[in-house]
Homo-oligomer: A and B are copies of this chain.
Amino acid sequence: MSKQELEVLGQEAADACCAGLASAPLDDDRATELAKLFKALGDPVRLRLLSMIASRDGGEVCVCELTPAFELSQPTISHHLKLLRQAGLIDCERRGTWVYYWVLPDTLDRLAQFLRTPQSAGAPA
């Protein structure tokens, strides 16, 4: 019943703000778009990179701090950062010698909204 009413609102309205995965079956296009984002998060190195950037007080981290935190080659870290950037999860800027990365919270929040189930959506915490 309330479900029916929601669907009457139309797909656009739901997409625009807060359509969760439980509000209606995903169409193929939207599923493909969201899958790219989740795929970007589906690697432990990228999750750690994202977390290292997001948990930084100043909001920015120099690549020169990220690379030595892993037992991986520098090009590998650079590659993962590129994927995160292409997914719209982070962005970067070169300032002189060093390159700084920061998180784009909107993309993360959009994914968080998408994952929230109806039962949890009511609880503010």
Contacts and interface: CB of A to CB of B under 8 A. Distances in A.
A8 interface: no
30 contacts: A18-B125, A21-B54, A22-B55, A22-B103, A24-B51, A24-B55, A25-B48, A25-B52, A25-B55, A26-B51, A26-B52, A28-B48, A31-B44, A31-B45, A31-B47, A31-B51, A34-B44, A35-B46, A35-B47, A38-B38, A39-B39, A41-B42, A42-B42, A105-B117, A105-B120, A108-B115, A109-B120, A112-B113, A112-B115, A112-B116
A-B CB proximity, top 4 nearest:
A39-B42, A124-B124, A22-B54, A112-B115
A111 interface: yes
